[in-house]
Chain A
């Protein structure tokens, strides 16, 4: 994905270095290589690559990772604006 980059400085991903136990689970589940573990601590090496899928936060045993997960889909976001987050769907199977 080195040739395909989306907007920088928008991802809501946050890593609490204090809380990290260095298990490396985040490096296994992240599909964009956002994390690296060095000296028993995870580090964000490519925050701009984050697509906020939530896999890391979901599988961090120390709850050291927070991210506001969601679907990066325009149709879905328009619906959250109109109908609210609870009732929004991806229209007609547009995205997923």
Chain B
């Protein structure tokens, strides 16, 4: 193999360069001692000594520390650019459905046999939320296989459960790593975990940690005791807004169908179908749809405590009807009476339904309550949608 390119044209791209095909862990030296490369792009750094064939090293692993149960990765307690970018992606798309770390034992700092053991889920956002709060602490992190689902939802689905805790305690060889027999579980995992079953199954007693990872430090400082606020779930303005992008993402597909239906229904009229009407009237209906989506998926989460009523469908209907009224004002004079009615109703129905669906993303709605609300709201929503369609198509024939 040539150590230097024979051909001067290599660097200008006119001729194939002999080292372009070069692959492998070592940089290809053009001139010994120089890190310069053929063909412009700088050479990537050599593979880390931590890497092993068949595995891919996470960027957050600092090193592997030897323990009686084998090597355990020490992870960084700060988030890097790839973590932040992936978090943003997970917050706004289906990327979150398969974003996980490998289950098993990790550590931060320099933990020993007496250090605390924190148990977490293997959704990467859960793992990141925990490790970024642990700077300066020495602790073990036992990550369960919750199929990439966060702590509370995994507990609700029965994935974050006593048998899984027991399985991972045994699989990780935790009892060889620590002398004590206690593990700290996030409080919200109690939905799926029976502390007594864990102790019976593996001999480790359970201490209920705080709800939020950011309270871990205060919890440990207080002698493994959580103050009352640490035990309560919150749903602040910022926490609610964080959910909006995914709500909107999930609406892309249904919106496409709605657009098609709007186009068809708007074009129907005395001459059977008018493309002109489909376009002109359709545009108004699309604006009402947009107002309904904005009201139900953005305004309702944002203004949740301030919108009147307890039922989400009612909060959504109010926000949506106001949005629809805004659309009518914007098109004042262009729509007829029946059409005005249809536009307002349409935005109200869309918003009411989306707001009702938002119950699934909140941390305080009971299933009994949601079911009760739905039994009342869905017939009303269906009736309002039917009235919307009749008024919209009827206006075209009446006109």
Q: Please state if B366 and A58 are interface contacts (CB–CB under 8 Å).
A: no
Contacts of A1 in B (CB 8 A): 232-235, 364
How far apart are the CA atoms of A52 and B368 in the complex, in Å? 8
Cβ of A82 within 8 Å of any chain B Cβ, yes or no, is no
**Which chain A residues (39-71) contact chain B, with CB distance < 8 Å?**
49-56, 58-59, 61, 68-71
Q: Please state if A72 and B94 are interface contacts (CB–CB under 8 Å).
A: no
Q: Please state if B228 and A50 are interface contacts (CB–CB under 8 Å).
A: no
Cβ of A75 within 8 Å of any chain B Cβ, yes or no, is yes
B37 to chain A, nearest CB (A): 43
Q: Please state if A10 and B208 are interface contacts (CB–CB under 8 Å).
A: no
How far apart are the CA atoms of A52 and B365 in the complex, in Å? 8
> Contacts A7-B373, A73-B360, A93-B94 known; A52 to B231 CB distance under 8 Å?
no
Q: How would you classify the secondary structure of chain A's contact residues: helix, strand, loop or mixed? A: loop
B323 to chain A, nearest CB (A): 20
Q: How would you classify the secondary structure of chain B's contact residues: helix, strand, loop or mixed? A: helix
Contacts of B368 in A (CB 8 A): 10-12, 52, 68
Contacts of A73 in B (CB 8 A): 357, 359-361, 367, 370
> Contacts A53-B156, A74-B356, A93-B96 known; A32 to B232 CB distance under 8 Å?
yes
Contacts of B211 in A (CB 8 A): 31
Contacts of B248 in A (CB 8 A): none
How far apart are the CA atoms of A31 and B195 in the complex, in Å? 16
Q: Please state if B366 and A96 are interface contacts (CB–CB under 8 Å).
A: no
Cβ of A37 within 8 Å of any chain B Cβ, yes or no, is no
Contacts of B149 in A (CB 8 A): 96
Give the nearest-CB partner of B161 in chain A.
A58
Contacts of A30 in B (CB 8 A): 231
How far apart are the CA atoms of A6 and B373 in the complex, in Å? 10
A57 to chain B, nearest CB (A): 10
B381 to chain A, nearest CB (A): 11
A69 to chain B, nearest CB (A): 7
Among A8, A10, A55, the one with the most B-chain Cβ atoms within 10 Å of its Cβ is: A55
Contacts of A69 in B (CB 8 A): 156, 191, 367
Give the nearest-CB partner of B152 in chain A.
A96
B112 to chain A, nearest CB (A): 28
Query: Which single member of B196, B365, B374 contacts A61 (CB below 8 Å)?
Result: B196
A: which residues have CB within 8 A of B? Answer: 1, 3-8, 10-12, 25, 27-33, 49-56, 58-59, 61, 68-78, 90, 92-96
